[in-house]
Homo-oligomer: A and B are copies of this chain.
Amino acid sequence: MQKTGQPTINDVARIAGVSKKTVSRVINHSPLLNEETRKRVEEVIADLGYIPNPQARALALRRNFLIGLVHDNPNAQTVMNVQQGMLEALHGTEFEMVVRPVDRGAATMLDDLRHFLERQRLFGVLLMPPVSENDMVAKLCDDIGCRYVRMGSAQLDDAAHMVASNDREAVRIAVEYLVEQGHERIGLVAGPHGFRSARERRLGFEDALGAAGIALPRSLIADGNYTFESGLIAAERLLDLVPRPTAIFSSNDEMAAGVIHAARQRGLEIPRDLSIIGFDDTPIAAHVWPPLTTVRWPIASMARSAALKLIAGAEEEEVGVEEPSLFLSTLIRRGSVAAPGR
């Protein structure tokens, strides 16, 4: 009697002459198993090409083999980098990635997320900034019993639940580089309120100027919201100042591209008339003209590490090395910075 479709655990059990339960034990690497039995069952499994049915496992275990990516990040490139890092970590495992955008503004965001998590019974979720900075969300995951790892620009949680970068320090180093080049009048295009990354980067900016003893008038800080257009508008305001700033640090690359645009529109040459440093090192940084000096934010590596944290212990082979929780951003020097007035 030839069965149709894929082999089930019953087929394996029957052919190997053992019970379902024993096969289940083999699959789950139960330690209390005779070596010989295991061998025999494994052979049958290999022969049949048997693969446990994920749906049945999900039902029995009350837990899916899905990792969720929860995000409300407006930057497509950043989201893609995170996905890439996650997928790299998940590759070859039994886990799949499901993407769940949430609406930061919506009042029902937490409820929606709760419904999603309760329904889907995900194995775990990776929280991307800025939603990852919301402690209510982390608490929600805890309440529901869903594993989670948060990504962000500062340490907000213990190492088991957090993968962070050191934005503040990285920006400090970047702005110190501007100071070393001789810049004293440096503008900041800040990120949106409510983003921790925006705050950290701004603090790093202030750190650098403070350490150099350079005063920072409020007028040299312009608000942006991480979009190209907001960078352009912010730069227009900064470039209208008299005297004009000789350098601008933009809290992300996309706004930096807007700054370049604004500068070019008024005939300024970069870096002769204006030095610019961005943040993220997205492809746009290398593709604008001149190539943008920027801070490389290792977001893909962070995502990979976060995903590995999430699934650590679930896989056959233990993750030998403890995944790092703090990632260092580095300054990438390209062509958008020079000494002022030259």
Contacts and interface: CB of A to CB of B under 8 A. Distances in A.
A51 B119 contact: yes
Contact of A101 (B6, B87, B228, B286): B87
Contact of A99 (B59, B83, B120, B228): B83
Interface stretch (A17-25, A31-39, A173-181, A253-261): A253-261
Contacts of A56: 59
Interface in A198-236: 228
Contacts of A104: none
Nearest to A80: B76
Nearest to A232: B287
Contacts of A97: 98-99
Majority-rule SS of A interface residues: helix
A243 interface: no
A284 interface: yes
A87 B100 CA distance: 8
A121 interface: yes
A337 interface: no
A54 interface: yes
Contacts of A328: none
Interface string A45-79: 00000010111101100101010000000001101
A115 B77 CA distance: 30
A254 B287 contact: yes
A288 B287 CA distance: 8
Which range holds the interface residue count of chain A? Answer: 35 or more
A80 B99 CA distance: 11
A320 interface: no
B87 A54 contact: no
B289 A289 contact: yes
Interface string A94-131: 00111111000000000000010011110000000000
A341 interface: no
A283 interface: yes
A115 B254 CA distance: 40
Given A76-B76, A80-B76, A87 B99 contact: yes
Interface string A244-279: 000000000010011011001000000000000000
Interface of A: 6, 51, 53-56, 58-59, 62, 64, 66, 76-77, 79-81, 83, 87, 96-101, 115, 118-121, 228, 254, 257-258, 260-261, 264, 283-284, 286-289
15 contacts: A51-B115, A51-B118, A53-B59, A55-B64, A58-B59, A76-B81, A76-B283, A83-B99, A96-B100, A97-B99, A99-B99, A257-B287, A260-B289, A284-B284, A288-B288
Given A66-B96, A76-B76, 5 more contacts: A76-B81, A79-B80, A83-B99, A96-B98, A228-B286
